[in-house]
Amino acid sequence: MQALMMKRNRLREPEAQTLEDCACLVFLESELARFAAGREPERVVAILRRTWRKMSETGRRRALTLRIDRTSRDLLEQAIRP
């Protein structure tokens, strides 16, 4: 429980959130296409939803400007659709 609380507190720190955003952006830009290949789209969308929740508004805005392939873009758009 203590480790969980420490993680929550860490994510409130700006530097920690920036690091989280960077990790998510790298995944989206560099790894998503390969990760999604051969996986059920519904599973990938669920994972992208969790990834999106981890990101700050700044990170999310940046993610929407990434140059990613069409399939990855479609999956991301499904994940962030309300």
**pLDDT, tens digit, for every residue of 18-39?**
999 999 999 999 999 999 999 9
The number of folded domains in the chain is 1
With beta carbons less than 8 A apart as the criterion, state whether 69 and 33 touch. Answer: yes
What is the pTM for the complete model shown? 0.82
Q: Which domain holds residue 64?
A: 2-80
Task: Give pLDDT, residue 14.
Answer: 86
Interval 26-82: pLDDT, tens: 999 999 999 999 999 999 999 999 999 999 999 999 999 999 999 999 999 999 998
Non-local (6+) Cβ contacts of 71 within 8 A are: 33, 36
With beta carbons less than 8 A apart as the criterion, state whether 41 and 6 touch. Answer: no
